[in-house]
Amino acid sequence: MKRLLNNMYRPVNPSPAALITSVDEKGKPNIITLGEVFNVSIKQPVIMGIAIRPATYSHYLIKKTGEYVINLTTSSLVEKVDLCGSVSGRNGIDKFAEFGLTPEASSFVKPPIIKECPVNIECRVAGIQTVGDHDLILGEVMAVHAEDDMIDEQGGLNLGRPGLLVYVTGNYWALGEKLGSHGFARRK
């Protein structure tokens, strides 16, 4: 029997546990952990969405500079992911140095990619809209960087790799078993 829930907090799960990088006007980078990262337009153009509270320092930086990078994480990074989401860069903390992450130059935007993350998605802000308690920031994808084991036979992303970190109602989980590919049931 189904019940009507009173608590509607995060009704759709999981979502990536991603590290979002941004920079200030002088180029100093910052990192925030977000569980609100998603595809909005998948082909022409490719648009990624992030949802972020306006009170955060990263929101200020992204709005000011119009750029950010989505860095997808793995289970080996879970402690660093949690730490990056637990302190604010507004106080001057260098989260790269503090939490042992390596910034590398992006190809098209100023915020750095994170070397330890297997996938990095460079974005330029295409729009910002207030939606409830978060702002929806739409970013046009300028470039995608991926480790070899994250690339499929057709040259696209294969995000089904075991260990990719996801966020489920306040908890971190790692992806594991592949169950099938789109259309597999019809091909049987």
Check the CA dihedral 133-23-114-149 and report its sign. Answer: positive
Please write the tens of the pLDDT for every residue from 8-21. Answer: 777 888 899 999 99
pLDDT higher than 80, residue 142: yes
Cα 115 to Cα 135: distance, rounded to the nearest angstrom: 27
pLDDT digits (tens, 9 = 90+) for 14-58: 899 999 999 999 999 999 999 999 999 999 999 999 999 999 999
- Does 1.20.1090.10 match the CATH number of domain 15-187? no
In a 13 Å sphere around the CA of 150, the CA atoms on its Cβ side amount to 15
184 pLDDT higher than 80? no
164 close to 19: Cβ distance less than 8 angstroms:
no
pLDDT higher for 178 or 117?
Answer: 117
Tokens of 85: 């989401």
Q: What is the pLDDT of residues 146-168, one digit of tens each?
A: 999 888 888 888 877 778 999 98
DSSP, residue by residue, 91-122: G---HHHHHT--EE--SSSSSPEETTSSEEEE
The CA-atom distances, in angstroms, between 142 and each of 95, 108, 124, 174 are 24, 7, 7, 27
86-96, pLDDT tens digit by residue? 999 999 999 99
Question: Which residue in 160, 16, 154, 143 sits closest to 68, CA to CA?
Answer: 143
What is the reported pLDDT for 176? 79
Q: Give the confidence band of 82 by pLDDT, cuts at 50, 70, 90.
A: very high
User: Is the pLDDT confidence value at 143 over 90?
Assistant: yes
φ/ψ of residue 76, rounded to 5: -65, -15
Greatest distance between any 2 Cα atoms in the chain:
57
Helix (H) / strand (E) containing 131: strand 119-131
Q: How confident is the model at residue 185 (pLDDT cuts 50, 70, 90)?
A: confident
Bridge partners for 51 per DSSP: 136
Residue 141, pLDDT above cutoff 90:
yes
User: Of 52, 167, 67, 66, whose CA–CA distance to 112 is shortest?
Assistant: 67
pTM: 0.93
Question: Is the pLDDT reported for residue 172 higher than 90?
Answer: yes
Domain ranges in the chain are 15-187
Would you place residue 117 in the very low, low, confident or very high pLDDT band (cuts 50, 70, 90)?
very high
Distance, CA of 111 to CA of 164 (rounded, Å): 22
Backbone φ and ψ of 97, nearest 5°: -70, -45
